[in-house]
Amino acid sequence: MEAHALVARLMERELQFPFMALLISGGHNLLILAQGLGQYIQLGTSIDDAIGEAYDKTAKWLGLDMRRSGGPAIEELAREGDAESIKFSIPMKQHKDCNFSYAGLKTQVRLAIESRNINAEIPISCASSQDRRSRADIAASFQRVAVLHLEERCERAIEWALKIEPSIKHLVVSGGVASNQYVRARLDQVVKKNSLQLVCPPPSLCTDNGVMVAWTGIEHFRVGRFDPPPPAVESEDFVYDLRPRWPLGEEYAEGRSEARSLRKARIHPSLTSIIQASLQQQH
């Protein structure tokens, strides 16, 4: 997730700390304030499904071509539909935080598909014109509400971030879903309204890639932050510390949501707190 946030600095040399980042992919939704390299405040995160997962499931239920993943397929079909035709409710309207939830919207979409007797076994290419229109209306209505949820969370996160760091000028949007042109256009309106600038890496660097990981290594290496090389011969009892869930930053106090039902026991300290502790040891 840090690599997704930092790769924009490879392409946009004017992008200086502090800045905000929205990371949106199949597995993650994350809003952070990057105060410096290794200094991150988590403003919001997924409490269940991420937006990319919702796009993929919706595309699958609508019988779309999944060879390019669900996002591009939904975006393409949505252009043919009426985005106001189905009134899906926006997730978490009652929670005044910056966290994300797409599980409920997925359920709404599934019920809408079932009520229209859409058969995902019949691919969109073979659907009748009326069936295709129904699918397009669902795709467009889903996309409108899915992205409205992003917009609302970003609006509040910008407000919070400017209270902490009034000098912020940029919002970085990265991760696989950041390739979606509709998402970019809508978020561009949000940042302009707040006198900020939207920065999106090119689509090839939005999805998981080696360049962003290498660049993050370079960023840390430049400031003398690196591990010594491993021994030429590792002992048989050598243990790797695997961290399946490793928070990027410390949670912003106002961002702690009562809606977070996920079992979020912090097994590991955040990357930010580890780096801060190592800096204090050096001094």
* Residue 228 in tokens: 């010594």
**Distance (Å, whole) CA 249 – CA 256:** 13
Query: Residue 157's pLDDT is what?
Result: 97
* Residue 47 in tokens: 């409490």
Tell the residue number behind the tokens 């999944």, with chain if given: 66
pLDDT at 15 over 70: yes
Q: At 108, is the pLDDT very low, low, confident or very high (cuts 50, 70, 90)?
A: very high
Q: At 262, is the pLDDT very low, low, confident or very high (cuts 50, 70, 90)?
A: very low
pLDDT at 227 over 60: yes
| Contact (Cβ atoms closer than 8 angstroms) between residue 201 and residue 207 | no
Mean pLDDT for 185-189 is 98
**Distance (Å, whole) CA 36 – CA 33:** 9
Query: Residue 257's pLDDT is what?
Result: 62
Mean pLDDT for 253-279 is 70
- To the nearest whole number, what is the mean pLDDT of the chain? 92
**Distance (Å, whole) CA 72 – CA 203:** 12
Q: Which residues contact 139 (CB under 8 A, 6 or more apart)?
A: 58, 62, 74, 77, 78, 81
Is pLDDT larger for residue 251 or for residue 140? 140
User: Per residue in 19-69, pLDDT tens?
Assistant: 999 999 988 899 999 999 999 999 999 999 999 999 999 999 999 998 878
User: Per residue in 131-183, pLDDT tens?
Assistant: 999 999 999 999 999 999 999 999 999 999 999 999 999 999 999 999 999 99
Phi and psi based region of residue 175 (left: phi greater than 0; alpha: psi -120 to 50; beta: remaining): left
Query: Residue 261's pLDDT is what?
Result: 46
- Lowest model confidence (mean pLDDT) among 65-79, 108-122, 178-192, 238-252: 238-252
Q: Which residues contact 229 (CB under 8 A, 6 or more apart)?
A: none
**Distance (Å, whole) CA 30 – CA 53:** 14
pLDDT at 81 over 50: yes
